[in-house]
Amino acid sequence: MTELSTAEEAMTPRASRFNMPEWLIGLLRHKLSVFGLVIIFLSVFVALSASVISPYDPLQQDYDNLLNPPSFGHPLGTDYVGRDVTSRLIYGTQISLTVGLLSVIIAALIGVPLGVLAAFYGGWIDAAIMRFIDAKMAIPGLMLSMLLLLTLGGSIMTVSFALGFGLSSAQSRLIRSQALSVKEREYFQAARAMGVSNFKLMFIHMLPNSIQPVIVQASLGVGFAILGEAGLSFLGLGVTPPTPTWGNMLSLAFDNLRSAPHLMYPPGIAIVLVVISFSFVGDGLRDVLDPRLRGKI
C-alpha cells in the first residue's frame, strides 16, 4: 500500500506538467473563440509559408493576362497588370498580420508604461499624462495615422507605428484604471511599507496584477490595426505599392470594379474573417479572465 502511494505521488507532478491552463480550457469552451483561433492559426500558417505555397511571384507582371477571371492557372484571377491575385493575397496575409501584431506591440510599449506611471505617481504627473492622452484621443484615429504617415512615409514600420500610436491611448486608460485599484490593495501597501523600490512596485507588483484587461484589449487591437491598415492602404497612405497588402488590393479592385468585380472578394473576405476572428478570441479571453462577465458574452 505504501509502495502504491509512493508511486502515485511520484507520478502526480509529472502528469500535472501536461495540464492545460485554466484560461485556455475556458477559451476552448467558446465555440466562436475556437472558430477565431482556427482562422488565426490558418492565417499565421499561410503567412509563414508564403514563399512555399504561393504559386507565383506576387510582383510578377504578365501583360498577356490582364484582369483575367478565376481559372485553373490563376484560381482568383489576375489584376490590371497581370499579377496573380492568389499569390498577392497570400503575401498580403504576411504583411497585414505583421502590421497588426507590430501595431499592438508598439501600442503596449507606449501606452502601458504611461498608464502605470500615471496611476503610481498621481498628482501633476497623472494629470499631465492623462491630458496628453485626452488631446490625442480628440483626434480621430485614422486622421492621426494619416498625419503621421504623411510625415514619415509609407512602410511596414511607419504604418505600424502610426496605428500603434493611435491604439496606445486605450491601453493607457485601461491599465491606469486597473492599476489605481491595485494601488489600494493590502499587498501593495505592505510592499511599499517594506521599502520596496518604486521600479519594483510599478513593474513587479502593480503591472502583473493589472495586465489582464490589456491582454484582452491587445487581442481586439490586432483586428482594429488590420482594419486600419486596410483603410490607410485603400486611401493610398499605407504600405507603399507594389508590396501586396489586403488594403491596396481592395483599392486596386475598386479602380477596376466594373471590368473585374471578382478582384474585390478575396481581400475583402480575408479582412472580414481575420478581424472578426480576433474579435471572437478577444471576447472569449474577456469572458475567461473576468469572471464577472462569464456567461454574458
Which domains are assigned to the chain? Answer: 21-53+83-293 (1.10.3720.10)
CA-nearest of 142, 188, 180 to 162 is 142
Could you tell me the maximum CA-CA distance found in the chain, to the nearest angstrom?
Answer: 82
Quick check: helix, strand or coil at residue 244? coil
Side-chain-side CA neighbours of residue 98 (13 Å): 18
> pTM of the prediction?
0.83
Q: What is the distance between the alpha carbons of residues 200 and 80, in angstroms, rounded to a whole number? A: 57
Which pLDDT score is estimated for 292? 53
Hey, which residues does 78 pair with through a beta bridge?
84
| Residues lower than pLDDT 70 in the chain | 1-21, 23, 26, 290-297
Quick check: helix, strand or coil at residue 241? coil
CA-nearest of 213, 227, 217 to 276 is 227
What's phi and psi for 189, nearest 5 deg? -65, -35
Quick check: helix, strand or coil at residue 154? coil
Q: What is the distance between the alpha carbons of residues 144 and 157, in angstroms, rounded to a whole number? A: 16
Q: How far is C-alpha 130 from the geometric centre of its chain's CA atoms?
A: 24
DSSP string over 184-205: TSHHHHHHHHTT--HHHIIIII
The amino acid that residue 83 corresponds to is R
Cell numbers describing residue 202: 510599478
Q: What is the DSSP letter of 127?
A: H
Instruction: Find the Cα–Cα–Cα–Cα dihedral 50, 238, 151, 112, rounded to 10°.
Output: -70
Q: What is the DSSP letter of 238?
A: S
Quick check: helix, strand or coil at residue 105? helix
